[in-house]
Every structure is written in structure tokens, then in C-alpha cells.
Structure 1
């Protein structure tokens, strides 16, 4: 699909889906999800391969059931994504029910700042909007540069409209900007279950080697902020549940790299626990584990 066509399709979805009655939007999401699931395209096949690692005891029939539920969850995210800017503040406040939010407020009240790290589960945009509106806590995040540039600008404007400060994913520059906000006692939210750079660290994830970004652990270690893993899952519409896990402790000994590796492993363990409980709400349609990467890519990321 050309960059222009991609931008046009996203623009139509943003403009059209939010105008649909909610039952119609849900039904549309299910139809699109089921059609994609039946076609068994690369994304669905990759989702099933990933779920096979998460639920190793599942037989082929169970994996197909999980992947269908996963695609419906994934399309629920997109239907909510396009409609979220039109939701009244009261709706955002009641639709997300997190457990352990005191871990966030305690870290911020102490002045140490908080690094909130999430996997691609349920609707992380809704969780961010809830924090910004219900708790009135500003926070910063990063966004991967997309093509065309106009589409990237759409995503930035969308998330800024929900109350987030969005920084471009530019390596050292974005790391420095996030660190400055944390040193002032602020909050940073990062989706952190898939390494998009060459600086990730290897972790054991569901018993297999994978690479995850070191940024959350490095930020927490360098600034003294609390590293808080978060997992999300869908309940019955319109509700979403969440769990803020306790702060990940920094090891007392070791080099900075060794400490970051240990903290990232603990973060990955929390992610794995949440994903194992709600595998259908983990929207990972890309290669993640080192053994699944194309030949040579794993070496480039070491």
C-alpha cells in the first residue's frame, strides 16, 4: 500500500468511525477482525506463532480460537482509537479500572518521578487519556516516526489531544528529554515489549530469548524514578482493566548495563504474567523472539 493510500485510509477512519453509533462501530470491528482472521494473512499467522509461545500447551484448535479472539481485541482497540477523541471526559473516567494506581501517585508525590512501561495490550491510549484527564497528571511519551510524515503528524496530534506530550523517537535526544522530565518529578509512559533499536537487551520471555528496550530501566536508573510495569486487558465493553505492578528495584551491585539488564528482565516477567492471564489482549502481530527474526537481524541487534 502506498504512503498516500495509507494516509487517506487512516484519515477516512478517523473521520468516519467516530460518527458511527457505538453498536455499529463494534459490529464493524468484529466483521473486519473476522475477515482478516479467515484470510490468514501474515499478521494473523504471526499472532498465532506468538501465541504458541505464550500458551505452549494449546493445540491447533485452541490457537485458532485465541487468534480469532486476539484479532477481535485488536480491532476493538482500533475502533476505540478512532472514537476516543469524541468520548466525553466522564466516559474516559469510568471505562478504565486500574488496580495499584497508588504506585504511580506515591512515586510522583515523593518527587522521584515515574517510568510507566507497558506491553502492547488492550488500549494503552485509553489508559493514557485516563491518567491525563481523571488524575490530571501530565506525562511524556515517544512516537516512532511513520511514513508519510503527515500520518505521523496525525498520530502526534491525536495523542496530544488526549493530554500527552509526544516526543519523536530519536535515540539519545529523546532519552535526554525524557530524563529531564523525570528529574523534575514527572511521569514518562513507554510501550516497551518490542525492541525497535539496536540497543535492546536480551531477556527470557516465556522461556525463550527476546530483546526488549533498555530505555525504561536506563531512565529509572539514571534519574532515580520508579520503574512501574503495567498490564492491561479488556473486560466487557466498554470497560478496560489494568494493573500497575510494584516498582522494579535497581540491583545494589553491578555495572549500569548489568543493572539495566536485570531490571528489564523483571519488567519482562511482569509483562509475561499479565499476558499469560489475558493472551487474547496482547496485540503482537510482529516478530518478537530472537529465534523468529530473519537471518542476521538478531546479530544486528546485539
Structure 2
């Protein structure tokens, strides 16, 4: 069965299946996918090995199973979001550090919320729109197009605007930030090729440079934030202090220095609960062991396919 049909069937079942049973089924499905999808399982185990090199294989296996459960729960919440009362949605989300968002909005230059694919990322991204703020999320294009269109309809159900990743999204992003809107991006996985190598946990990985380029170009505040599940239904959002970006006349130096800040912020998020880091693809796959050490450590520019076109990606 394709993912599209699975989501459509899941959306219908949310109308008749109690949420408690639905989340129990998510656990069963998540464990099944973990057991019977060896390629994704190997990718998640490798990611967790980088997150905690000294942790035991038993720990990594347990956390990897939780990653799959988290991913399935995220899809389940996405298909049931239209059945949840909008005021009830606010009650299910606890927010800490919202004062940082208010301070950033007071600057009137827009806000770029930088996050990782941690916890219930898709649903929590709806929160600014629920407060009446103009918000958009940039998402990775997936195949087939019918699946991508369906996911976009689900994600935009409560008013947040969905922008497909790619150069065509840049004008809309710039207009949003000029109107002092909030842009939500995930910076923990490169999906466009517009990236640089940076040390991420224990090894070099390619992280997207789009959020940094946008902040530099527009003056928007780059604000780290993440979410974790407190229970199947309840989520906690933590907004940290804005990143103090480096600004000199050397754009490439600034880019690498600021990417280091982004990497450290993402590490802090993911270490909160690695079992909720719902990335099923290998993050370190493109960082070849043959990569020159100077480039791997970010001390010389790393080539990026297609130049440095502004990209800001999440999914």
C-alpha cells in the first residue's frame, strides 16, 4: 500500500477510532516498520551512533524503535488535525520562551524559527497561525506529486502557509519576512544540495545554509526552537535565545562561522530526546571519509552544487 493511500485511510479512521487506540496502533505500526524496513533502520541506527558514540547498541536500538514510533505518530497527528478543535489544539501545546518570539517580532524584520525534525514538528508548526500570526513552513518536495499535494493540504489545515522548497519559494519567503511574518524551517538535513560541511556531533555532515543566507539578506532574527512529546497527545515547545550571527565583510567566513552556531543549536535540541529525532534518512551519508580534513572542519569553503541560491528546507 502506498503512503498516500495509507494516509487517506488513516484520515477516515480518525473519525471512528478513539485517539487512545489510534496512538496504540501507531506504536504497533512503528515497531513493525522498524523491524521490516532494514534500510531505514540502518540509517536511523547510524544517525544515533553519531549522536551518542559511547552509548551501547542496546540503547541505540531502543531509541531507533522510538524514532519510528514518533514518525508514525507524527503522520497520525497530521491526518487527524482537522478533527481537533482549534482551541483544543492550543491546550495540547505547552510553550516555554515565547517572550523570545515577541522580542523578535518587535524588531519588525521577520522571524526565522530554526528547528530540527524533533517531536511533533508538523503539528506544532501550526501554533503561530493559531495565535493569528502570519506564518509559513518550507517543506521538502516528495514524490509522487499527489502525495506532496495531500501533505500540503494537511499541513495548511489550520492556516499556516506551506511553501515547497526550491528557488521559486524565495520571493514568497522574502515577502513574508518583510511583513514581519514567521518562517519555520528545519535545519538538520540537507535536501537541496545548498549546504556546507560542518562538524555535527562527532563527524562532518552537510547542513543547509538557507536559513543563514535568509537571515543575512533580510535582517530577520534566527530563533532556535524545538518540540518534544510529553505524551502521545501533549507537546512541549521550547524557544531559545536568538542566535548572535557573525557579520563581517567576509561572507564565506561568516557563513561557516554561523553554520557552526546552527550545528551547536541543533545538537542541543536533538540531545533533549534522540528517540524523538524523526529523521529516517542518513544525515552523514554525503560526508565521505575521503573529504579533506580542512573542509570537513569548516576551515575552507566546501563546494555547493548550483552556487548559493537561497534555500530554506524542512519536511
TM-score (normalizing by structure 2): 0.86
What secondary structure does 2:198 align onto? Answer: strand
The C-alpha deviation readout for 1:118-163, integer Å capped at 9, x for no partner, is 1111111221222211x22121222333322222211222222221
Q: Provide the rounded CA distance (Å) in 2 between the counterparts of 1:91 and 1:184.
A: 28
Q: Is 1:282 aligned to 2:291, yes or no?
A: no
The equivalences for 1:49-198 within 5 A come to 49-133=46-130, 135-171=131-167, 173-198=168-193
- Aligned-pair distance for 1:293? 6.5
Match of 2:43 in 1: 46
Q: Provide the rounded CA distance (Å) in 1 between the counterparts of 2:290 and 2:154.
A: 36
More helix by share: 1
- Aligned-pair distance for 1:103? 1.2
Q: Provide the rounded CA distance (Å) in 1 between the counterparts of 2:198 and 2:227.
A: 21
For the 8 Å contact 1:209–1:290, the answer to whether it is kept is: no
The C-alpha deviation readout for 1:243-296, integer Å capped at 9, x for no partner, is 112111221324223323222221221110121121001011101115666999
For the 8 Å contact 1:18–1:82, the answer to whether it is kept is: no
What secondary structure does 1:117 align onto? Answer: strand
For the 8 Å contact 1:51–1:279, the answer to whether it is kept is: yes
Match of 2:25 in 1: 28
Change beyond 3 A, Cα 1:14–1:260: farther
- Aligned-pair distance for 1:115? 0.4
Q: Provide the rounded CA distance (Å) in 2 between the counterparts of 1:97 and 1:110.
A: 25
In structure 1, stretches of 5+ residues that fail to align are none
Q: Is 1:208 aligned to 2:200, yes or no?
A: no
For the 8 Å contact 1:96–1:127, the answer to whether it is kept is: yes
Match of 1:266 in 2: 261
Q: Provide the rounded CA distance (Å) in 2 between the counterparts of 1:38 and 1:115.
A: 37
Q: Provide the rounded CA distance (Å) in 1 between the counterparts of 2:287 and 2:213.
A: 26
Q: Provide the rounded CA distance (Å) in 2 between the counterparts of 1:292 and 1:28.
A: 37
What secondary structure does 2:114 align onto? Answer: strand
- Aligned-pair distance for 1:28? 0.6
For the 8 Å contact 2:125–2:137, the answer to whether it is kept is: no
Q: Provide the rounded CA distance (Å) in 2 between the counterparts of 1:163 and 1:92.
A: 13
- Which shows bigger deviation, 158-167 or 222-231? 158-167
For the 8 Å contact 2:129–2:135, the answer to whether it is kept is: yes
- Aligned-pair distance for 1:81? 1.6
- Aligned-pair distance for 1:191? 1.7
Match of 1:256 in 2: 251
Would you say how many aligned residue pairs link Structure 1 and Structure 2? 296
Q: Provide the rounded CA distance (Å) in 1 between the counterparts of 2:172 and 2:227.
A: 27
What secondary structure does 1:92 align onto? Answer: helix
Q: Provide the rounded CA distance (Å) in 2 between the counterparts of 1:8 and 1:294.
A: 40
Match of 2:242 in 1: 247
